[in-house]
Amino acid sequence: MLGFITGVASGFFGAGGGFLIVPALVCGAGLEMREAIGTSLSIIFVNGVAGLVSYYAQGRPLDPLVTALFTLGGSIGGVVGSSLATRVPAKTLRAAFSTLLVLVAVYMIATNIHAMLH
């Protein structure tokens, strides 16, 4: 059920899956932060492949160059990020992730308030 709710929220809001999946895995499934990160990356990969296949099957336009560049960049970034995560204490990793979530939330709130007022 938690996976379904996370998927609906991710699809509805267009939020990056990791921002929703990692907290769901840590809080809802009781995984440690490192386990949640690895599991999240696997889930995002499968979701990405499913989305790509779905778009292709529906005849929706895809930009192969953008797809390839984001795949390459995401793959390299994932390897570098997971390598760095193994060197950082779990407590620091949780604090950094929490800080990032708060900063993204503040940015989104500010951007939307500005858009509503103008």
pLDDT tens across 55-106, in order?
889 999 888 899 899 889 988 998 898 888 889 898 998 899 889 889 988 9
d(CA 4, CA 47): 13
Sequence length of the chain is 118
Confidence of residue 116 (pLDDT cuts 50, 70, 90): very high
Is 27 within 8 Å of 40 (Cβ atoms)?
A: no
- The residue among 69, 76, 81, 111 whose CA lies nearest residue 18 is 81
Give pLDDT, residue 31.
Answer: 92
44 burial class (0-12, 13-18, 19+ CB within 10 angstroms)?
Answer: middle
- Output the six-digit token pair for 107: 């940015």
**3-54 pLDDT, tens digit each:** 888 888 877 877 767 788 888 899 999 998 888 888 888 888 888 888 888 8
What's the pLDDT at 106? 93
